[in-house]
Every structure is written in structure tokens, then in C-alpha cells.
Amino acid sequence: MRIVVLAGGTGSAKLLRGLQGEVEEFTVISNVGDNFWHKGLFICPDIDIALYTLAGVADTVKGWGIEKDTFNVLAQLAALGEETWFGLGDKDLATHIFRTVQLSRGRRLGAVTSDLARRLGVRQDVMPCTDDSLETHVVTIEEGVEETLHLQEFWVRKRGQPEVKDVVYVGAEKAVANPKALAALEAAERIILCPANPVTSILPILAVRGFRDAIENSKARRVAVSPMIGFGPVSGPAGKMMKGLGHGSDSLSVARLYKGLLDCMIIDSSDAIQKGAIEREGTQVSLGSTLMSNREKERELASSVLSA
């Protein structure tokens, strides 16, 4: 079965690992809105967590970077008086240096990502939704002062504290969809939207021209796993962001965001009460266990995504 997965962040990574246990081949279309230039390096968190997870080297405790990594460079940067709010591990830095050098030679992000995947021993296709610049910026209010921050500044440097007034996808209008990603969606028999932050991991992909149409018009079975359990996300700023944009932070609100794109949404059994309302939105609902608290639950959820 030709499977295409839209992914970004830690929840997605767990499902990707679960899928690896169920099927050999699948294509991952990664969000790029988290990407940013930092200390002269081009950092791609959602691409890297997919690559590291599929390579079996992800730090599953922190939820980012490479397992058992050291932070000697960061410590020395601090000793030099540099800001070190973004935790760059020594091995992780090799990825950023490799990617930045390749990009500086004019190679496109998709080609560099494929190269990294191969060198890390990843057998699945992992690709950015676009090779072009697309950054998620958060319009925040803090003590009455409005400030626009890159997602990483908001989430990591400011620990997601400021109030969210808006979220913008800078570059989305000009970004060209990765043709390999559109082709994969065209040929897909199953399209999976991972349990990711809808505002910062899925909507930035859909903001790139071509993706919404490709999914809406696809003949594939389209299944999403809700990132929400109850009235909040399993982890991260999704709830705060959804509310900041005037949405609810439950599965029904996510189903409304993805209206027209899904055949089925898997929600946690504890949210069965929302089933009727979501089905009235035109999306079938399958009840499952969406809290992937161990490897077995990752595989169980992956299995239900493949059969939903």
C-alpha cells in the first residue's frame, strides 16, 4: 500500500516509529515551518526528528536531537559569552553543519534531506514539503506589547510564555510545493496526518499551494490522528496556539480545521463523547488509544491508522 505521512514534531515521530514496525515503505512529507537560521546554521527540527527517529538514533527523552549526545560545543559557546538557549548537541551540530555546507553549494533542501536520510541509514523517503523558505512566526502579546517571534524564539527561548495573538507562515505565498511530495500524494493509497500541532506542523504544509488540493482531490483513504486528548494536546503549545487563533483545543476543533481533507479521524477513546459532533462535520471517527506512552502503543496506533 502506498502510504504518505504528513509529519512534524514529537507526536509525529512516535507514530513514524510505530509505522516502521508495521510497514517497510512509506513517504514522510515534513513540515518546514520550524526551520530557522541559528548561529549561522540552518536548523530543520521537524525534518531532523523524523530522520533521527527513523534512523533509530533520536533522543526520545528530550524529544529532539540525537540520543546520548554531548553538549561540549554549546558549553564552550556559553564560556565565550554566547547565548545558548537552543540546545545544540555536538552530534546534532554535525547535521546542521553538513546541511548548511550543502545548501551553501546551491543544493536544494530536498536533495540534502535525501542525502542525510541515506547516510543515516533511513530507508523511508523523508522530504520537506517545499525547498523554499517558509517560517512559522508567532505574533505575541506580552505585558501589552506586541512582538512577532520565530516559532523557536517563542517556544524555546521564551518557553511559550507570551500570549498568542496570531500565527503567520512567512514565505507561504511564494513557496513552491516539493514536486516529489505532490507526486507522492497523487499516487497515495493512504494519506496520514500525524498527531502534530495543527497550527505549527500541519497548517504550514497546507499553506503551500498544491497540498490542500492534492489531499482534497486524492483517491487515497485519508486518516488523521488527533493531537488532542480532552481539551488539550498531549504535549507542546498546540492548545495555546489553537485558542490564540480563536479555535477550541479539542479534537472537534481539529476536525473543523481539517474539514474536507479527511475521511476519518482517530480520537482517543476517552473522547468518545465528541464522536457525533465530528461525524456531523463529515469526518468518520475511529476510537483508539492515542497516547503513545510506549513502543507497543506506537505500533498499535500505527496499526489502527493503517486500517481505519
Site residues (vs ligand FO1, CB under 6 A): 9, 34, 43, 45-46, 48, 64-65, 86-88, 92, 152, 155-156
Using the minimum distance from each CB to ligand FO1, give the nearer residue, 52 or 274: 52
Using the minimum distance from each CB to ligand FO1, give the nearer residue, 84 or 303: 84
119-137 burial, b for 16+ CB within 10 Å, e for fewer? ebebebbbbbbbbbebbbb
Using the minimum distance from each CB to ligand FO1, give the nearer residue, 95 or 274: 95
Q: What are residue 207's phi and psi, to 5 degrees?
A: -75, -15
| Least distance to ligand FO1, CB of residue 220, Å | 26
Report the alpha-carbon distance of residue 31 to residue 175 in Å, rounded. 13
Report the alpha-carbon distance of residue 60 to residue 67 in Å, rounded. 7
| Least distance to ligand FO1, CB of residue 156, Å | 4
| Least distance to ligand FO1, CB of residue 260, Å | 26
Using the minimum distance from each CB to ligand FO1, give the nearer residue, 48 or 250: 48
| Least distance to ligand FO1, CB of residue 1, Å | 28
| Least distance to ligand FO1, CB of residue 199, Å | 11
Using the minimum distance from each CB to ligand FO1, give the nearer residue, 152 or 274: 152
| Least distance to ligand FO1, CB of residue 179, Å | 25
CB closest to ligand FO1, residue no: 87
Report the alpha-carbon distance of residue 65 to residue 62 in Å, rounded. 8
Using the minimum distance from each CB to ligand FO1, give the nearer residue, 139 or 264: 139
Cβ atoms of 126 and 30 within 8 Å: the answer is yes
Report the alpha-carbon distance of residue 301 to residue 192 in Å, rounded. 12
91-114 burial, b for 16+ CB within 10 Å, e for fewer? bbbebbeebbebbeeeeebbebbb
Using the minimum distance from each CB to ligand FO1, give the nearer residue, 149 or 214: 149
| Least distance to ligand FO1, CB of residue 206, Å | 17
